Amino acid sequence: MILKSLVFILELLTILFLLYGFSALAATFLFIHPFHSRSDYSPKAYNLPFAKVQFYSRDGRTKLSGWLMRHNQASEGLVIICHGLMSSKAETLPLAAFMFRNEYDCLVFDFRAHGESDGFFSNLGYREKEDLLGAIQYAEANHLTFDGKVIVIGFSMGAAAALLASAETDQISSLVCDSSYADGMALLKRNFSLFFHGLPKKYFWGICWFFLRKIGGYPEDPEKPLDAVKKLRDLPIFFIHGEGDQTISVSHAKALFKKCPSVKKELWIVPQVGHAEAYDQQTDLYQKKLLQFLGKKVEKKGDLSLSRDGVVDVAAGVIIQDGKVLIARRIKGKHLEGMWEFPGGKLEPGESPQMAVIREIREEVNLEVIVEHLIDTVMCNYPDRKIKIHFFKCRVLQGAIRAIKWGEVQWVNHQDFDQIGFPPANQPILSKVKGYLE
């Protein structure tokens, strides 16, 4: 009887040990294999000229895929944008479109094991720095810059990889580091301890670290961005971090900023913002601060949209989803206050109507859209101004509507049109919009 009990206990302990080890293996696998996050849209969604490009990581083994967006004439320089873990190059397109509109060429690419790039395991920046250095080599080999230097903007893992890469090259002229970690090992240990709450943390982490090294290819003593940043004495660096970041504490940004010896460093702690969400949550301010950091003059909006004949150029989006169209109500005190119209706004200098409607809809109602086609261009004379409005049929890519610059926004169907007070400029296209909804 005693022997049977001992055998039972031994079998139970073996099962528990195997379950414990399997849990650690599963946690490790889920963390280092991002399942090649993909998106169904490309720079076409932003009406950007682009070419698909491929190049190798600096290690010469991993083939990476990207999109290159270039101006026909001389630009302000080349910007390389680096995405975060479990993301892809497609997620960086809103920022790429903004930089392109401000006369920068852009290169966005998928890190190893992400998007369309080769590779099976991610390494939280330790190997990804080789991918960024490969992108810089590709830019140099193809003469994409006039001085051999690039601007790098990185998010989360991409920011950490950029810091590690910056310590090994002098070809980065400016670095924007959004939501980077300072010590990857400390972050890993904390996150793995939280992965299976209630398990013995000490042994669980030890098994996970074994799998990370043997399966994921992590080095025995991984580099720390906190050590790399100490070498960046002359590099202009802009650190950005959300104060409410629960994934990577804001303390990481503060530590990086403190250890950075560069006299050209800046730190922006964004209140009430989560992990790598500053661009989405504070778009206007983020864009302004970014251009100021890069030394580019921030143009004022407004009358700059006037053409030489005194006509205001405007782009508006007819956003259709599930048989309804999105309309927005003008706030009190504004021109045509209280009236409903299709959201949009004035073109900025050098901006196409298609790019303007994408930007305006993002800034005004928090949606990313694809422009399908031009519905019509309408001229309208008001007592105090002349307006030329380009109406585009659009569909939603992502986002949840918010009345950021409007009194109210809502989805309506064509039966509601007779009860809605549309301004004169919107009237000529209503019959076409009804046709889409019917």
The HSE-up count of residue 146 (CA atoms within 13 Å, CB side) is 7
Residue that is written with structure tokens 């601060």 in the block: 289
Tokens 């050590």 belong to residue: 227
Kindly calculate the radius of gyration of the chain based on its CA atoms and give it in whole angstroms: 26
Overall residue count recorded for the chain in this entry: 438
First to last CA, the chain: 79
Q: Are strands 105-109 and 63-69 parallel, antiparallel or unpaired?
A: antiparallel
Domains of the chain, first to last = 43-183+224-293 (3.40.50.1820), 303-437 (3.90.79.10)
**Which one-letter amino acid corresponds to residue 369?**
V
Tens-digit pLDDT string for the chain (438 aa) = 666 566 556 655 565 555 555 555 555 555 566 655 555 678 887 778 899 999 999 988 899 999 999 988 778 899 999 999 888 998 899 899 899 988 899 999 999 888 899 887 777 778 899 999 999 999 999 999 878 899 999 999 999 999 999 999 999 999 999 999 998 766 666 665 555 455 555 566 666 666 566 666 667 667 889 999 999 999 999 999 999 998 899 999 999 999 999 989 999 999 989 999 999 888 889 999 999 999 986 654 434 344 445 678 899 999 999 889 999 988 765 666 778 899 998 888 767 888 889 888 988 898 888 888 889 998 887 665 678 899 999 988 888 888 887 888 999 988 888 788 788 888 889 989 988 887
Q: In this structure, are residues 120 and 217 in contact, taking their beta carbons and an 8 Å threshold? A: no
Neighbours of 421 (CB within 10 A): 11
Residue 354: the pLDDT is 85
Q: What is the DSSP string of 147-195?
A: SS-EEEEEETHHHHHHHHHHTT-S-EEEEEEES--S-HHHHHHHHHHHH
| In contact, 232 and 262? CB cutoff 8 Å | yes
Distance from C-alpha of 29 to C-alpha of 26, rounded to nearest angstrom: 5
* Cβ atoms of 192 and 202 closer than 8 Å: no
Q: Are the CB atoms for 217 and 130 separated by under 8 Å?
A: no
